[in-house]
Structure 1
Amino acid sequence: MNPPTANPVLPADAPREDPSTVEALPAVPPAANPSDAGNPTAAAGRPATASPGSSSSAP
């Protein structure tokens, strides 16, 4: 006799969390976090974005 298979209602590869909630967590882009506006160390590991007065935004 074959061993019982995984629950047919919830396959083993089904996500445990709703993916829509996981994707919606970063509502504010990390580089736009106001708490990091004057802290270059906190934003050092984040993708660089041109901010007002930034020398990296050369024309």
Structure 2
Amino acid sequence: MEITKKDLFFCYDVQLCRYLRSKGFYYLLSAISNANQRFWLYAQSRELREAIDEYKTNKN
């Protein structure tokens, strides 16, 4: 099975990362981008997408 970018979610938002952690999601890795920005990499899933949508709704 080949993993592509669509299978991954790159999170550059510290607050979103904390929110996802509070919902029980764990990132696969944390790293620094070439632009010197920290990001967290998650495996894409329906549950993750729903949590992100919930975060965006509550944020506004």
Q: Same fold (TM over 0.5)?
A: no
Bigger proportion of residues as helix: 2
Q: Which has the higher contact order (CA 8 A, sep 6+)?
A: 2
Greater C-alpha radius of gyration: 1
Scaled by the length of structure 2, what TM-score is found? Answer: 0.21
Scaled by the length of structure 1, what TM-score is found? Answer: 0.22
Bigger proportion of residues as strand: 2
